[in-house]
Chain A
Amino acid sequence: MLELKQVGKSVGGTVHIHPTDLAFEAGCFNVLLGTTLAGKTTLMQLMAGLEKPTIGNVHFNGADVTGLPVQKRNVSMVYQQFINYPNFSVYDNIASPLRVARLPDSEVKRRVGEMAELMKISAMLDRRPSELSGGQQQRTAMARAMVKDSDLILLDEPLANLDFKLREELRDELPKIFAERNCIVVYATTEPTEALLFGGKTAALHEGRVADFGPTSEIYRRPASLTSAKVFSEPPINIARVVKKDGRIFLNDEIHWQADKALSDGEYTMGLRPHHVLPESAQKSDVAIKGTVKVAELSGSESMIHFDAFGEDWVSLSHGVHPFESGQEATLYADVSTCFYFDGAGKLVAGGPVSEEG
């Protein structure tokens, strides 16, 4: 188990990582989700021992490894840029960590062959990295990171520089590749969908703080805070200020609906994911929202309608083709039963599965 205990990092008076507690178990796929500059890379470097924390301790399997340099830990890392030895063949690239560890040639051969098979680059072993496609180069880098039975494998946006379709393919394969290993995998990404598809556990990161941590689908369906909900929504979650009084939620004087019993009177911020705001009403309880269309993006299978309602930028995401003209007045229908409600401090107080239980 890898544990961060109140680990923080400051550089020249600027806080990069606020004191953080996190625990990752062996055999588990963990995702660090957040935008660029959220602190994902710094947090990984602290885990690897590439950076020393300003405060706090890092424990591995119960032992304090805080000051231990990366060379003395059994860690591998894969970066966004494909990093390979340009003058080595693909075989020698993958074999390099095993040769450093002075494994016998027969064992090196066996392991490289196995890893190449897994990463689907067996046919490329004699080539140089420059003769490979981007996807194959990154597979080589990943094979090298995984060949040596590391206790901890850190992947920092490894698919970000790949073509869309290659990304899709590797995203599908990665969890299978790690499934049989008893190591800790930590994977950093800016994309909520990627986190969801990997499953495992997700830490939602924002401005150097962990806003949420837990099983991925729970974090998505029940974000602990407004920050977590924002980090975990693509397209961005629709936000509005609302007031609860007289048993109803008021978005403004015209738009209001039956309130959740669990919610006490007062002001809240509501969050509603774009796929719960649709061009056609799906059920009676839907609330009509009038707005001015800014632009409609039609992908052929889905429609993303950006509109301005009560001074907020909202987005509707629906199946099918729903054309709208820019500047057009439109009515969209919100499934308010899926709303999240956050208090003044941004903490989730109702909505999602929470209200169903209550």
Chain B
Amino acid sequence: MARISLSSLKHSYLPNPSNDADWALKELNLNWDDGGAYALLGPSGCGKTTLLNIISGLLNPSHGKVLFGDDDVTGLPPEQRHIAQVFQFPVVYDTMTVYDNLAFPLRNRGVDEKTVGERVSEIAAMTDLTEMLGKRASGLTADGKQKISLGRGLVRTDVNAILFDEPLTVIDPHLKFQLRSKLKEIHQRTANTMIYVTHDQTEALTFADRVVVMNVGEVVQIGTPEELFETPHHTFVGHFIGSPGMNVIPCKIDNGKAVLSGVSVKTSNKAATDVKQAEIGVRPEFISFAKKGLEVQVTKVSDAGRFNIVDAILAGNPIKLLVPEGSPIPSETAHIELKADRTRIYCDGRLAGLEGAA
């Protein structure tokens, strides 16, 4: 295992990139600690797979370096990087037993059978495959096969990192739930460096210690799940993380403070004094109905079980509120309160007043 560093990394699939849009991956610097759990999260086409392929060595970056520990591995082919990969579709040798599948990466490297046996039974126990070891892989269900892929990724003790590329996409939701928590449990027990690529916020946030949020080739924020939820640095992060996402409401700025339909709105940050137009960002979780305050028109209430999602119109803009199950919900005209320390001003999509904004 090793620390992974990306230094001034950027990539274009074009020979002579000229403008911003030509870069599949815009310049990025980051360090991943040894033993950490990380996620790359973003919509289709955001550059996360490009980044993953650069780390695994399938793709050579146009600029910058990839370091494992202190070693520059930028020019090394995948097989010399000692990276294990788990893909979206399970890759198993159907005719082999589960045991032989798990043993394969070890035998390939000439590990003695005694060590192979010990290692395979350890990994099988971890992935709930012990009872299947004698069975042929072809007889297993999709999630069983994905567990084999997972187990094969874990079985080597000499890998620098394990990369997961949308590993749960083809798994049924109720099994996804089990595999997801299993993976987290395995990470905590083995302390492997794991990098998990997905478009699914639940998978990214529950798995990773730190999440890299990407959009159109750019890293928009890196943070713990809590930071991304509590303090989105960009309206994209606010929208993409959280379900429903953050409300983004256009507002006027008067001397750095937010004003909505002539009413001053308390926020935790201030805009620059020369700014006239901006946006207020506040999550549905941090808006509640109140006796007085901003006026809204309630347009729809959706029962989500644990809570209700309320659609309303605030100063001509659609917003959403989350109201706990059983709490009263007014109809038509009502008043709302925004939690001041969770309400923020965004200028051109970026959190106002943020030091060294990326």
Q: Which residues of A contact B (CB under 8 A)?
A: 35-36, 133-134, 163-165, 168, 190-193, 196-197, 199, 216-217, 220, 234-236, 275, 294-295, 297-301, 304, 306, 317, 321, 326
Let me know if A300 and B306 touch, CB within 8 A.
Answer: no
> Which of these, A216, A299, A317, contacts B202 with CB under 8 Å?
A299
Q: Give the CA-CA distance A350 to B200 in the complex, in Å.
A: 37
- Given A35-B174, A236-B174, also A193-B304 (CB < 8 A): yes
Top 7 nearest A-B pairs by Cβ distance? A300-B225, A300-B229, A297-B206, A299-B205, A295-B185, A300-B226, A301-B229
**Which of B224, B228, B303 has its CB near the most chain A CB atoms (within 10 A)?**
B303
Residues of A near B207 (CB, < 8 A) are: 297
Q: Give the CA-CA distance A301 to B238 in the complex, in Å.
A: 12
B191-227 interface mask toward A, CB cutoff 8 Å, 1 = contact, 0 = none?
0000000011110011100000000000000001111
Let me know if A163 and B172 touch, CB within 8 A.
Answer: no
> Which of these, A199, A297, A317, A321, contacts B181 with CB under 8 Å?
A297
Q: Give the CA-CA distance A163 to B243 in the complex, in Å.
A: 13
With CB as the reference atom, state the residue of chain B lying closest to A231.
B174
Let me know if B303 and A163 touch, CB within 8 A.
Answer: no
Decide if the interface of chain A is mainly helix, strand, loop or mixed: mixed
> Which of these, A164, A199, A301, A317, contacts B303 with CB under 8 Å?
A199
Let me know if A297 and B240 touch, CB within 8 A.
Answer: no
Let me know if B303 and A196 touch, CB within 8 A.
Answer: yes
Instruction: Tell yes or no: B302 within 8 A of A by CB.
Output: yes
Q: Give the CA-CA distance A275 to B325 in the complex, in Å.
A: 11
**Which of A216, A295, A321 has its CB near the most chain B CB atoms (within 10 A)?**
A295
> Which of these, B228, B304, B305, contacts A300 with CB under 8 Å?
B228
Let me know if A134 and B44 touch, CB within 8 A.
Answer: yes
B229-244 interface mask toward A, CB cutoff 8 Å, 1 = contact, 0 = none?
1100000000111111
Let me know if A193 and B305 touch, CB within 8 A.
Answer: yes
**Which of A133, A217, A297 has its CB near the most chain B CB atoms (within 10 A)?**
A297
Q: List 29 A-B contacts (CB under 8 A).
A: A164-B199, A164-B201, A190-B172, A191-B173, A193-B304, A196-B302, A196-B303, A197-B302, A197-B304, A199-B302, A216-B303, A220-B305, A234-B177, A275-B306, A294-B185, A295-B181, A295-B185, A297-B181, A297-B184, A298-B226, A299-B201, A299-B202, A299-B205, A300-B226, A300-B230, A300-B241, A326-B185, A326-B188, A326-B189
- Classify chain B: how many residues form its interface, as a range: 35 or more
Residues of A near B173 (CB, < 8 A) are: 35, 190-191, 234
Q: Give the CA-CA distance A275 to B307 in the complex, in Å.
A: 10
How near does chain B come to A320, taking the closest CB pair, in angstroms?
9
With CB as the reference atom, state the residue of chain A lying closest to B142.
A36
Residues of B near A216 (CB, < 8 A) are: 303
Q: Give the CA-CA distance A127 to B302 in the complex, in Å.
A: 35
With CB as the reference atom, state the residue of chain B lying closest to A338.
B325
Residues of A near B44 (CB, < 8 A) are: 133-134, 163
B16-41 interface mask toward A, CB cutoff 8 Å, 1 = contact, 0 = none?
00000000000000000000000000
Instruction: Tell yes or no: B180 within 8 A of A by CB.
Output: yes
How near does chain A come to B255, taking the closest CB pair, in angstroms?
33
Residues of A near B309 (CB, < 8 A) are: 197
Residues of B near A294 (CB, < 8 A) are: 181, 185
How near does chain B come to A283, taking the closest CB pair, in angstroms?
13
Instruction: Tell yes or no: B43 within 8 A of A by CB.
Output: yes
Residues of B near A163 (CB, < 8 A) are: 43-44, 199
Let me know if B304 and A196 touch, CB within 8 A.
Answer: yes
Q: Give the CA-CA distance A236 to B172 in the complex, in Å.
A: 13
> Which of these, A35, A220, A298, contacts B225 with CB under 8 Å?
A298
Let me know if B305 and A299 touch, CB within 8 A.
Answer: no
Let me know if A299 and B303 touch, CB within 8 A.
Answer: no
Residues of B near A299 (CB, < 8 A) are: 201-202, 205-206, 225, 229
Instruction: Tell yes or no: B279 within 8 A of A by CB.
Output: no
> Which of these, A168, A191, A234, A297, contacts B244 with CB under 8 Å?
A168
Known: A220-B303, A326-B188. 19 other contacts (CB 8 A): A164-B201, A164-B202, A191-B173, A196-B302, A196-B303, A196-B304, A199-B303, A234-B174, A235-B177, A236-B174, A295-B184, A297-B180, A297-B206, A298-B205, A299-B206, A301-B285, A321-B226, A326-B185, A326-B189
Residues of A near B181 (CB, < 8 A) are: 294-295, 297, 304, 306
Q: Give the CA-CA distance A299 to B201 in the complex, in Å.
A: 9
How near does chain A come to B224, taking the closest CB pair, in angstroms?
7
Q: Give the CA-CA distance A177 to B227 in the complex, in Å.
A: 36
> Which of these, A190, A192, A300, A326, contacts B224 with CB under 8 Å?
A300
Q: Give the CA-CA distance A3 to B144 in the complex, in Å.
A: 39
Let me know if B172 and A36 touch, CB within 8 A.
Answer: yes
With CB as the reference atom, state the residue of chain A lying closest to B205.
A299
